[in-house]
Amino acid sequence: MESTSLSSVKLHRGQTGCLWRRTAHVLLPSVMVWVHGGSFTSGAAALYNATLLSSSYNVIVVTINYRLNIFGFLGSQELIDEAGKSGINFGIQDTATALQWVQDNIAGFGGDVKSVTVFGESAGAIDIAWILSNPKYEGLFNRAILESGAGGTLEAQTVTSTYGTAIFNGALSYFNISSTDTAKSKLEKLRKIPASNITGYYVASKSTFAYPVIDNVSVLDKSLRALALGKFVKKLDGILLGTNTNEGSVFALALNYTTASDLRKQLSALDAAAPGLDAQVWYNEWDRIQADVYIGNGTGNFTAEFEANSNYITDSGFVVPIRKLAQAYVDAGVPVYYYRFDVTSNATLQTYRALYARGYYMGVTHGSEIPFVFSFVPTLSGQAEVNTSRQMASSWAQFARTGNPSNALVGTWPKYTTPSRDVMYFGANGTVSVKAQASLPDFRQEGQAFLEQ
């Protein structure tokens, strides 16, 4: 049988009317299902051309869409009560539905239903983490790859939280719907408003991120609590996950966190004082760590203060939540493989050239590993970047086939276990090596340990 090129593949529309799947090179055995990122507010499957990854590494790649922003992550008690056992968090449920579609249909495309790996970046990885946090989704896939995201990156909110109520109540106010209306009346009036107007409201709300809301159906608990209680999908052949060196730089830029005082303000993003700690002790300790670990001698230097904000976001939003997820799976006996991407690509340098000139240090940015994983060779610069892409793409594909990313281009990839917690380090000039986590160039042990409390 001849393989099917990307240009001739048909789109298959889901029953919800908003779930689409695009399958590339469909006559190959192991299956990789890509979940795109975008802070749960933006993004699309069509942005990721899987042709080279599929054809070069002998895997099927399925890319999916899921509902975003207010359409995928609107939380309110009215919606929860109405949905009942169906639940809300429609973006997460769309992803689960797409994974079920793969289970039901991929054999018809020549795929091995017993060898399915879900992989995603940023919100895509977070989406996967939330599916992993619900045991009812066990069996939808065999392996998982999470790039730069875990449940704790965008932690679930309670329906009474600021996020849980603000977007819904804001919509009522924006469209002149009385807050004293019955729940049924509120929902009926909102549903009569054209989708384009709803989108207009969401854009006007200037929401940077969307969050899952605990509905006791699709999202059962805070992710870190679910991990601590052992309430997560454990029937996996393996899990591969990791981060880029400077995940936080694009977020520090977007949120305008550039100074030492901005760094202090970020403490408000934590869930208040850690249990059992006096609040003042917490703040005093934070002041000391802020000074010693994140800013050091850089006070008064714009680049150093911006990088301090970036590093804090990297640690609190990415390194610590991902390490906690990794450790939970180690403790559950699931093989875990960890990576660090530390390649400042030429494309990244060109994208942020004007910002570098103004003193912003962007580094190895969030999402910059994607062209390497997808083998986007035309966008890479020089043989060293091509070599790194081959190392990463072959590792991802090998993991998708076997549950172990070891291959001839990277050598033996050790499991992430205590005490060394070995990491596969993709470095500059096409180099790749195994490093103990504590030996990584940006390992801020004291700051990360503080944030793990």
DSSP string, 184-229: HHHHHHHHTS-HHHHHHHHHHTT-S----B--SSS--S-HHHHHHT
Is residue 196 part of the annotated active site? The answer reads: no
| DSSP assigned state of 136 | G
Q: How far apart are CA 409 and CA 399, in angstroms?
A: 13
Residue in 111, 147, 114 with CA at minimum distance from that of residue 21: 111
Rama region for 19: left / alpha / beta (φ>0; ψ in -120 to 50; rest): beta
Contact call for residues 336 and 344 (beta carbons, < 8 A): no
Question: What length is written for the chain?
Answer: 453
Contact call for residues 423 and 404 (beta carbons, < 8 A): no
Residue given tokens 């281009």 in the structure block:
409
DSSP string, 220-281: -S-HHHHHHTT-S----SEEEEEEETBTTHHHHHHTT--SHHHHHHGGGGS-SSPTTS-HHH
Strand 12-13 and strand 20-24: the pairing is: antiparallel
Contact call for residues 93 and 218 (beta carbons, < 8 A): yes
Contact call for residues 437 and 276 (beta carbons, < 8 A): no
Strand 336-341 and strand 238-244: the pairing is: parallel
Q: How far apart are CA 171 and CA 79, in angstroms?
A: 13
Q: Which of 39, 122, 310, 395 is catalytic?
A: 122
DSSP string, 374-427: TT-GGG--HHHHHHHHHHHHHHHHHHHHHS---BTTTB------TTT-EEEEE-
Angle at 333 between CA 332 and CA 334, to 5 degrees: 95
Residue in 369, 373, 426 with CA at minimum distance from that of residue 398: 373
Q: How far apart are CA 40 and CA 213, in angstroms?
A: 13
Alpha-carbon 385 to chain mean position: 23
As annotated, the active-site residues are 122
